[in-house]
Amino acid sequence: MTKPQKLAVGIGAASLLSAVLGGLSPSPAAWFLGWTSVSCALSAAAYVANRPGIYGKRGGLLVWWRALPTAIFLGAFRIACALMRRARRHPITSEVAPGVWVAGRVDSSQLPEGVDFVIDLVAEFPEPRTVRNRTGYRFLPVLDGGVPRQEAPVLALLDELADPHTTVLVHCDSGMGRAPTFAALVLLRRGLANDVDDALAMIERARPFIHLGSADRAFLAGIEPKVHRPIPERTIAAV
């Protein structure tokens, strides 16, 4: 069972429990528990169907009226993520290769100097205004433990990041799953790694606590042949 599937089961169970408790509770607790049940049910469905847009994040900002139905789950999820980050005490940013950084959620004060692109993979939380207003900010929504819904936006973004003279920081919430998965493709696209396994080994040397799930690895295996790599200079010279 993949991580998104496990999350869907857990969140679905929370939805069912909230519905039962709501039916046994007087108002206004019943209304709150009913909202909690709906919020969790929508979130569980999002994980099953891989629909990161359910949380209403657009251009790095949560659109409040889109996020409102899932607000209870998002609040609880944010608290849980904050507690896990505090307990783990992992470095927020790590340079995994020249010009390529992997990170958890960052604000502008935590960005390495000279970063040209910030790739935000977090579907659940808004990006700080000082980061999302940067010229090089790009948003690609991915659910926790999940993978991008479509390959085309990923490949287009990789082409934009292909120039090895630019510096890119890829971040998710913890910098353990989504961010290293995408960063491996950046390394491959720039010709800094021979294949996905080589790219992941490079990332793990700089960030040994990364943890890719089966969904991440399956996504990488499927998209790797479609990632265009730079032509070696000796080949160009021969032509």
- Alpha helices per DSSP H over 60-116: 64-67, 71-88
pLDDT band for position 168 (cuts 50, 70, 90): very high
pLDDT in tens, 213-229: 999 999 999 999 999 88
User: Is pLDDT of 193 > 80?
Assistant: yes
CATH 3.90.190.10 correct for 90-226: yes
Per-residue pLDDT band for 112 (boundaries 50, 70, 90) equals very high
Domain boundaries, the chain: 3-86, 90-226
Q: What is the pLDDT of residues 76-100, one digit of tens each?
A: 999 999 898 888 888 999 999 999 9
pLDDT band with cut points at 50, 70 and 90 for residue 1: confident
Quote the crossing angle between the two packed helices 3-24 and 214-223, to the nearest 10°. 140
For residue 155, give both structure tokens. Answer: 């490949």
- Backbone dihedral angles phi then psi of residue 120, each to the nearest 5 degrees: -100, 115
Helix or strand (DSSP H, E) at 45: helix 29-49
